[in-house]
Amino acid sequence: MKTSIVTRSAAATKAHASKNLSTKLSNGLQVISKERSGAVSQLVLAFRAGSRYQSDKQSGLVHHIRNFVGRDTSKYPGISVVWSSAAIGANLTSFSTRDVFGVQMTVNRDHTDTALSILGHVASQPAFKAWEFEDVIPSVKSDLAFKNSYDYVLEGIHSAAFRQGSLANSIYAKRGEIGIYKSDDLNGFASKHFVSGNGVIVGINTNSQSLQHYADELLPINDGSNVVLSESPYKGGDFRRSGKGNDAHIILAGNGAAINDTNALAVQAVFLSHIGRVSPLKFATLPGLSSGLSKLPFGVAGSAFHASYEQAGLVGVYLLANGENANAAVKSAFNILKSPKIEDLEGSKRRAIAEIETNYADGANEAIQRAIIALGKGPGRNALIESIKKVSASDITQFAQKAFAKPSLASYGAISQIPYVDEL
């Protein structure tokens, strides 16, 4: 689909200095465009339609919706959609978190307009035809088969921390829930959530004028207002699932910062950089000597963990222990988290800022991150960095006290020695 403003070749990236854009249209759709001078455009159309919006009777619905991307839309058959995106060399993927569901296309910059036209139909006008279920259901089954240990504890920590709240809803369908949804169920959810007031369209390395023109006039999205959020406050609890082998995968978490709370996010970022993340280097297992996790017992690997959602969040550590040292690992990790002894506050702050900047420089998931932040009304990179610079040691100790007053613990594997949360 060509508009009057089309970037034709790589030379255009040098010629046109495309402006950055961040607006909200009259129908409520947010439009974000960022110029990174890259050759690959990342396009995301995302909605507040994650698993937290499932009702009690809709457990596993978003998993089915996610796996339906690439099938028939209301106007074009799935074959055409997938073939045309392949013809322009685009990658078409769907993603969902607890807050957000979206579709991403990454494509060579020259073909952004065609990719946008495909993306609009795929994300906002899925048809969920009744005869395609038999093709989609095996893909849901294979998603479950590919879940690894970390996925189990990740789902477990949410179910432990948020108990019966909507944030405890898993992004995966349970085995018994596969295939129980019909066309009407999916269509009902889509008509409520895939609307302009609930969505954002993000373009990285696209021409911002053509993105705005597309979003204004050509995007086939239904009008609608944003969906009201139901509260899902942090509660705290246990999740245990035994598994084969001697490994114990553990997430110990507390009440973290919500995505729209800049100050809390800043304090949390410094706290976590003190706690330490596993090194990205190949043979290094432990974070640095001055980090919190260096105090873990020998043989236990740990890495900081956090998850931020609208109005709630989790913060903690992910531990990999074995059957014998799991008890000591959890107790020691809890002490590290609850009373962090920060020796080098400035260093932690700088590492936190460096992490944000490195993430920004990487850019592989930038479109998705921007979409999630826009939908959750989260802070931009600069605002967060400014906030981090102002964090003090007392902020962190207060944050840690408050967060781990009622901790949550999720474990999978050799769990016989792992204490319950009220024993900590």
Site of interaction with another protein (CB under 8 A): 76-77, 79-80, 83-84, 129-131, 133, 183
Distance of closest approach, residue 78 Cβ to another protein, in angstroms: 9
Residue 265 near residue 259 (C-beta atoms within 8 A)? yes
* Nearer of residues 84 and 365 to another protein, judged by Cβ: 84
Distance of closest approach, residue 142 Cβ to another protein, in angstroms: 19
* The pair of three-digit structure tokens given for residue 211, joined into one six-digit string: 């993105």
Distance of closest approach, residue 170 Cβ to another protein, in angstroms: 27
Residue 29 near residue 371 (C-beta atoms within 8 A)? no
Picking from 318, 313, 315, 281, the residue whose alpha carbon sits closest to that of residue 301 is: 318
How far from chain centre, in Å, is Cα 147? Answer: 16
Distance of closest approach, residue 70 Cβ to another protein, in angstroms: 13
Beta-carbon count within 10 A of 149 CB: 16
32 DSSP β-pair partners: 22, 202
Contacts 24+ apart (CB under 8 A), 293-296: 293/317, 293/333, 293/336, 295/332, 295/335, 295/336, 296/329, 296/332, 296/333, 296/336
Distance of closest approach, residue 79 Cβ to another protein, in angstroms: 5
Distance CA 261, CA 244 (A): 40
* Nearer of residues 79 and 405 to another protein, judged by Cβ: 79
* Nearer of residues 184 and 344 to another protein, judged by Cβ: 184
Distance of closest approach, residue 75 Cβ to another protein, in angstroms: 10
* Nearer of residues 129 and 406 to another protein, judged by Cβ: 129
Cα Rg of the chain (Å, integer): 22
* Nearer of residues 134 and 362 to another protein, judged by Cβ: 134
Residues near 396 by beta carbon (within 8 Å), at least 6 away in sequence: 267, 270, 271, 274, 340, 342, 345
* Nearer of residues 184 and 346 to another protein, judged by Cβ: 184
Residue 285 near residue 301 (C-beta atoms within 8 A)? yes
* Nearer of residues 130 and 364 to another protein, judged by Cβ: 130
Distance of closest approach, residue 80 Cβ to another protein, in angstroms: 5
